[in-house]
Amino acid sequence: MNKILKLRDLAEKKADKRAEKKRDLAAHAIKTLAQVGYAKTSLRDIAGASGLSVGVIHYYFEDKAELIAYCVQQYKIEFVARFDAIVGMAGSPADIEARFIDGLAKAIESDAETHRLWYDIRGQALFDQAFYSVVNEIERSLIELVGRLLARIGLPDADALEVYLAFDGVFRYFLQRRLMGKRNAIAECRAALRHLFARLHGRGGSAK
């Protein structure tokens, strides 16, 4: 029995070490990918940025598509966790909305290139089924996050998918403006998000 337990412990430690190495590789890879995008980045580029050989990367990931899908998935898991923390904070619905707006605006301001990679991969999923699963999983987690937000601010009956699409449209539009060098992009994004919340509460005009 002790031998079995030791073997199990060794297997678990090996699995943990492998998972940690994959996360470390992803952290290096995502910086390179965020700069130039999926199509223009090769495994050799990623290997060079991480100080590893292409062979080592292949040990952990079957190909570039698997590596990139893993990178984006890890980043979005952290993104959703960050906003779940906001939704779970104490405060009034207005406080939560203000923090949510601030979080989205700061995400564009400080991490635009990484979010651009998400939209790159989401677009690639229209052509490459290798990305179907991860894109669907990420979007489901984002829709569920919006559902939790709506419940928290007193709008549990609102359609989470419809509201997610509205948030996503605002976020992507001002992300693009930020990447184009528009100086007022962040301020305009905050204003658009405030208007969207007002419309959700029945203030500020119709949705059309």
Separation CA 80–CA 146 (nearest Å):
10
Report yes or no on 142 lying in a domain: yes
54-102 pLDDT, tens digit each: 888 888 888 888 888 888 888 899 999 999 999 999 999 999 999 999 9
CB distance 197 to 96 below 8 Å: no
Report yes or no on 16 lying in a domain: no
Report yes or no on 42 lying in a domain: no
Nearest Cα neighbor of 160 from 141, 175, 174 is 141
Number of domains in the chain: 1
CB distance 163 to 153 below 8 Å: no
pLDDT reported for residue 173? 98
Report yes or no on 45 lying in a domain: no
pLDDT reported for residue 104? 98
Least confident of 46-50, 117-121, 132-136, 145-149: 46-50
124-152 pLDDT, tens digit each: 999 999 899 999 999 999 999 999 999 99
pLDDT reported for residue 118? 92
pLDDT reported for residue 204? 55
Separation CA 71–CA 24 (nearest Å):
10
pLDDT reported for residue 14? 52
Report yes or no on 15 lying in a domain: no
In the structure, what pLDDT confidence band is assigned to residue 19 with cuts at 50, 70 and 90? confident
Is the model's pLDDT at 34 over the cut of 90?
Answer: no
- Cα angle: 79, vertex 80, 83; to 5 degrees: 90
Separation CA 2–CA 29 (nearest Å):
40
Q: What sign for the dihedral angle of Cα 98, 103, 108, 109?
A: positive
Output the domain CATH number for residue 129: 1.10.357.10
* Distance from chain centroid for Cα 33: 14
Report yes or no on 77 lying in a domain: yes
pTM to 2 decimals? Answer: 0.83
pLDDT reported for residue 202? 92
- The whole domain housing 185 covers 63-200
Burial of 159 (0-12, 13-18, 19+ CB in 10 A): middle
Report yes or no on 93 lying in a domain: yes
Report yes or no on 169 lying in a domain: yes
